[in-house]
Amino acid sequence: MEFSKQFELINTIPKAELHVHIEGTFEPELMFSIAERNAIRLKYNSVEDLRAAYNFNNLQEFLDIYYAGAFVLLHEQDFYDLTMAYLKKCHEENVVHTEIFFDPQTHTDRGVPLELVVNGILQACIDARNQWGISYRLIPNFLRHLSEEEAIKTFNEALKFGELFTAFGLDSSEVGHPPVKFKKVFDMVRAEGFKTVAHAGEEGPAQNVWDAMQLLQVSRIDHGVRSIDDPKLLEELARKKMPLTVCPLSNLKLKVVDVMADHPLKQLLDNNIVATVNSDDPAYFGGYLNANFQAVTTALNLSCDDIITLAANSFKASFLPHEKIQLWLNKISHLKF
């Protein structure tokens, strides 16, 4: 099968990315250079040694390495450089809008002030908007392996940034930390007028997707691929137009699927679900957004129409204002293909 037409479309079509952890865009080369300037010794001797460690049997094995990598981020400039490197990739790949996750507790728990983290990320976003016209949203995530009290403390601290954050999310170890554990803090988040999202149905069961919708009242489900196990849930996701931010290379690397040909993305689309494609932690999982599109296109035999649907879904599911969404949808519908 020849996919050159699809690949050209993937590269040229405007896209939004809705599920990317900024700490997961930390490329080994940048990690080594920041570690050096911060006089921190890494556990690995070289970029190659570090990359060779990126073999994971499950989510937790990845998270252990991902949190260790974030340890070298100390100064505002570090967060700026990290974010700017990712935004440059966006520019190269025609990602025109990105909704960036970050983990405040990964930094505040080691004494790095939240203000410094946010300022570094934000300044890179402002510069990328001015240079390349990329729009952005920032979404702090609570770490679900920590307590709800700690999430509440983080939320109260985040309130001083006013409307800078569009939504709050929930990430880290899903198994053993179901949505109900964070019902109270999510009630507080919505009461202050923020949207909510949550990782659910990645390694955990389809029930976590139900609970994220019903208990946490999320606007989107991050991952959600285990929904495929529950036909009633698929119906409900389609009926509610509840978007799923699917991350194919992540699912492959963390063994959520054994091979990409088993990935449920195409079935989700066939069930009229607003599925989107995203990179999650691209430095760890072997590719940025376009690589994710390419991987599912070849493995699942996606057509140009499927790719157009996925790109359109990325804007429909975004937190952009209605007029901006329409603008991008119009651009996509006028593409000559």
Dig out the tokens for 126 from the structure. 């402002």
Amino acid at 257: V
For residues 254 and 66, give the distance between their C-alpha atoms in angstroms, rounded to a whole number.
13
Contact 197, 226 (CB under 8 A): no
End-to-end Cα spacing for the chain: 19
Whether 202 is catalytic: yes
Residue 270: count of CB within 10 angstroms of its CB: 12
For residues 138 and 100, give the distance between their C-alpha atoms in angstroms, rounded to a whole number.
5
Binds 59, which of ligand HPA, Zn ion, none (CB < 5 to 8 A, cut-off by type)? ligand HPA
Name the nearest CA neighbour of 213 among 189, 175, 179, 177. Answer: 179
Amino acid at 94: N
For residues 320 and 101, give the distance between their C-alpha atoms in angstroms, rounded to a whole number.
16
- Find the catalytic residue in 17, 93, 174, 202: 202
User: Residues 242-271 vs Zn ion: string with x where CB under 5 A?
Assistant: ------------------------------
Binds 194, which of ligand HPA, Zn ion, none (CB < 5 to 8 A, cut-off by type)? none
Least distance between ligand HPA and beta carbon 331 (Å): 30
For residues 19 and 275, give the distance between their C-alpha atoms in angstroms, rounded to a whole number.
12
- Residue placing its CB nearer to ligand HPA in the complex, 93 or 171: 171
**Per rule CB under 5 A, is residue 17 in the interface with Zn ion?**
no
Binds 76, which of Zn ion, ligand HPA, none (CB < 5 to 8 A, cut-off by type)? none
**Per rule CB under 5 A, is residue 280 in the interface with Zn ion?**
yes
**Per rule CB under 5 A, is residue 174 in the interface with Zn ion?**
no
With CB under 5 A, what is the number of residues at the site for Zn ion?
1
- Residue placing its CB nearer to Zn ion in the complex, 23 or 280: 280
Dig out the tokens for 87 from the structure. 């935004």
User: Please, what is the Cα angle at 225 between 224 and 227, to 5 degrees?
Assistant: 75
- Residue placing its CB nearer to Zn ion in the complex, 9 or 283: 283
Residue 91: count of CB within 10 angstroms of its CB: 14
User: Please, what is the Cα angle at 166 between 307 and 211, to 5 degrees?
Assistant: 75
Least distance between ligand HPA and beta carbon 268 (Å): 17
**Per rule CB under 5 A, is residue 99 in the interface with Zn ion?**
no
Nearest residue to ligand HPA, using CB? 171
Rounded to an integer, what is the distance from CA 315 to the centroid of its chain?
14
Least distance between ligand HPA and beta carbon 2 (Å): 32
Binds 202, which of ligand HPA, Zn ion, none (CB < 5 to 8 A, cut-off by type)? ligand HPA
- Residue placing its CB nearer to ligand HPA in the complex, 24 or 224: 24
For residues 205 and 189, give the distance between their C-alpha atoms in angstroms, rounded to a whole number.
25
Residues forming contacts to ligand HPA in the complex (CB under 6 A) are 21, 24, 59, 66, 171-172, 199, 202, 250, 280-281
Binds 24, which of ligand HPA, Zn ion, none (CB < 5 to 8 A, cut-off by type)? ligand HPA
- Residue placing its CB nearer to ligand HPA in the complex, 47 or 175: 175
Least distance between ligand HPA and beta carbon 171 (Å): 4
State the Rg of the chain over Cα.
19
Binds 172, which of Zn ion, ligand HPA, none (CB < 5 to 8 A, cut-off by type)? ligand HPA
- Residue placing its CB nearer to ligand HPA in the complex, 66 or 165: 66
For residues 32 and 170, give the distance between their C-alpha atoms in angstroms, rounded to a whole number.
29
Which residues contribute to the site for Zn ion (CB under 5 A)? 280
- As annotated, the active-site residues are 202
